[in-house]
């Protein structure tokens, strides 16, 4: 994981990925 990434940024990233999966379903 890049040092520039903050924990909040990671949470938002995975939240968006999960949201896309739910929309695709």
Distance of CA 8 to the CA centre of its chain: 9
pLDDT value, residue 21: 79
Domain enclosing residue 14, as ranges: 1-25
**Count of domains observed in the chain:** 1
Q: What b/e sequence results for 1-25 when a residue is b if at least 16 CB atoms lie within 10 Å of its CB, and e otherwise?
A: eeeeeeeeeeeeeeeeeeeeeeeee
Q: Dihedral of CA 8/12/15/17: which sign?
A: negative
Residue 16: phi and psi, rounded to 5, are: -65, -40
pLDDT value, residue 2: 60
**What's the distance, Cα to Cα, between the start and end of the chain in Å?**
29
pLDDT value, residue 1: 56
Give the tens place of pLDDT for each residue, 1-25.
Answer: 566 678 899 899 999 999 887 877 6
């Amino acid at each position: 994981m890049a040092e520039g990434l903050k924990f909040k940024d990671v949470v938002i990233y995975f939240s968006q990925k999960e949201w896309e999966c739910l929309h695709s379903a």
